[in-house]
A and B are shown apart, each in its own frame.
Chain A
């Protein structure tokens, strides 16, 4: 497996009168060929702007990519001309947006919109393109595709529209598919169908996928590696199984602790209703991030140094990176703070139980 996408120190800011919003604030990661990468994080943490930066679709003004490189198959996408970029967008990288209705043209038929892409990017003739469009629709599971081609976007249900979007995204056989909340607006069973469809296409074509979502169930089921973002930066980068078993960053731990887990006892032995763990507070204002760790004001494990300097994203074990002082060598060797080994024992669900135990103990 080779590296398909290599992003280094990307910064995308929005310049508004009097201040700048640091939407993406120095992120680096890679995507391997055929890999499925998930990106999670609270609303506003910069997930969408990361993908918009890769597509070079950041609304400018007020947005601007001010630093970094985005290497795709050895080419820096930030250095190529707009014309070359258009060809990358059509042929190599496709994106599915959250709300399919706004990204389809309401006055053109579905058939025309798919055929247009095929003619433009694959150089097919009108006739060939129409034929191919029909076969794309049946590939994404739309029956009577010939008929559907004549319909307009408003005539389709949300699930069908999202399938059409996928068909268009697939039309050029991209090497990377970016799906930004592809199923949030859809019903549970339709969501499952769409996700299964993306996975099937991915297997068949060895296509890499970036899944942006705040749904941890989708992450758990459909990705191999996960990037957890917080306030414009990556705080953890890890294989999915290790993340769920043993989240390292306190924010990841909080995130995993705040979702209900199936089949967990709902009441304590005393008959008290169990509560979910919650992360106190909210995201810092992206206009002026505090000095030090951006999570410090909400972090149950914050130490003095967390308020003074910002931790780096470093590899702490095989294939796992985390941005947190708890995992720095000094802290690891300093017995006065809780060691990460101790904290890490409480991975996933057991960690959650541990938090509950501690909270209860603190109350008494």
Chain B
């Protein structure tokens, strides 16, 4: 095979994002909600990775971590990763994580001296510093503030709600020009011209520049959001449900716009949506999430043609498809999604899974290579 090597533009490793939540309305006790729990994935230049899963499974949280709107609790997000650095850091991180595990165990076991604990703690801190130092040129999470500010230009985000994500007191020109202004590029005349070019590119008239967001329809506002996201000429754009709030025909216009922009600027998209036909249409590869974890990744045709993970199978079978002749055999998903504050042990899907066995309740399955280039996290992958 003489295909050009795919260039990895983003590498996410063991990403975790926890939120503290109150145990009850009047409680002062804090619990931990694991919104994203050890998720790893790669993104290649020019591709679209679709992220799907039920409400609350952590899709938005991943997007916001990648765009650095959230500070993750653990993990690495490499922009333009370098193999050698990734390997070095990985070794250090893995060692540290196993020590953290050990620390937890000894705490529970309780047979260790105070000094022993302190030593372990120190070792962990050391490893973390070492790894951060090694990763700091490409890892968004350990960069210093200046490097991060620079890197953030390359990663932009489009939000679900075109009504809420635009400042109603600013005219469109200032909304789109805000980013470039902050970064001090394209000053004065240049900035104006750049904004006009962007407006033109997203299919809005030049006259739109001096109007306020409320004067536009939903589809037009989403175009403004897209222009704003493109203003800093990013390489990666996180699109969080960009068409969910739009009418079918306008949805098609915005999807087409995203596709042509991607082709023209070589953009890479992380695309989040709950409409599976839409994600399938726009994505090259997909990742399915359940309760903060990735359960399956594959290219999108394969995912639909031949889903492998039990959760993916029932998710796809439950969702209506816009074709009255398409009959999927419905695989019932029993019960509700368990609480992410107190997720089931082992495989978090075991409470609803038809293929569950003993091991599923005890051991967490890891995402590994399965048939047809899929990766799934499952102890008993069902036969075709």
Contact = CB atoms under 8 A, between A and B. Distances in A.
A248 B79 CA distance: 50
A264 B323 CA distance: 12
A187 B321 contact: no
Contacts of B99: none
A138 interface: no
Interface string B273-284: 011111011101
A328 to B, nearest CB: 26
Contacts, number: 110
A221 B301 CA distance: 22
Contacts of A221: 320-321, 324
Tell me the dominant secondary structure on chain B's binding face: helix
A362 interface: no
Nearest to B327: A221
Interface in A263-296: 263-264, 266, 273, 275-279, 282
B30 interface: no
Contacts of A222: 320
B218 to A, nearest CB: 8
Interface in B253-280: 253, 255-256, 259-260, 262-263, 274-278, 280
A219 B248 CA distance: 13
B324 A263 contact: no
Given A189-B333, A192-B319, A273-B259, A244 B280 contact: no
A189 B54 contact: yes
A260 B247 contact: no
A216 B274 contact: no
A263 B281 contact: no
Interface stretch (A63-71, A114-122, A251-259): A251-259
Contacts of A275: 256, 259-260
Nearest to A298: B249
Contact of A263 (B256, B274, B304, B318): B304
A309 interface: no
A361 interface: no
A111 B154 CA distance: 53
B259 A259 contact: no
A52 interface: no
Interface string A224-245: 0000000000000000110010
A258 B276 contact: no
Nearest to A258: B252
Contact of A278 (B252, B301, B326): B252
B251 interface: yes
A42 B247 CA distance: 6
A192 B323 contact: no
Contacts of A188: 54, 274-276, 315, 318-319
Nearest to A44: B247
Contacts of B345: none
Contacts of A278: 249, 252-253, 256
A214 B318 contact: no
B380 interface: no
A260 B253 contact: no
Contacts of A217: 277, 319-322
A286 to B, nearest CB: 15
Interface string A28-56: 00000000000000110000000000000
A258 B319 contact: no
What is the size category of the interface that chain A forms with chain B? 35 or more
Nearest to A264: B281
A159 B34 CA distance: 22
Given A189-B333, A220-B322, A259-B277, A276 B252 contact: yes
B274 A187 contact: yes
A167 B317 CA distance: 26
Contacts of B320: 191-192, 195, 215, 217-218, 220-222
A217 B322 CA distance: 4
A218 B320 CA distance: 6
Contacts of B281: 260-261, 264, 266, 276
A42 to B, nearest CB: 5
A325 B234 CA distance: 49
A217 B274 CA distance: 13
B247 A214 contact: yes
Contacts of A258: 248-249, 251-252
List 10 A-B pairs, minimum CB-CB distance, nearest first: A260-B281, A258-B252, A187-B55, A217-B320, A276-B252, A192-B318, A217-B322, A221-B320, A216-B322, A220-B324
Interface of A: 42-43, 187-193, 195, 214-222, 240-241, 244, 254-255, 258-264, 266, 273, 275-279, 282
Interface of B: 54-55, 217, 247-249, 251-253, 255-256, 259-260, 262-263, 274-278, 280-282, 284, 300-301, 304-305, 315, 318-326, 333
24 contacts: A42-B247, A42-B249, A187-B54, A188-B274, A188-B319, A189-B318, A214-B247, A217-B321, A217-B322, A219-B322, A220-B323, A221-B324, A241-B324, A255-B248, A258-B248, A258-B249, A259-B322, A260-B278, A260-B280, A261-B323, A262-B277, A263-B304, A273-B263, A275-B260
Given A189-B333, A216-B322, 9 more contacts: A42-B249, A193-B318, A218-B320, A244-B322, A259-B248, A260-B278, A262-B276, A263-B304, A266-B281
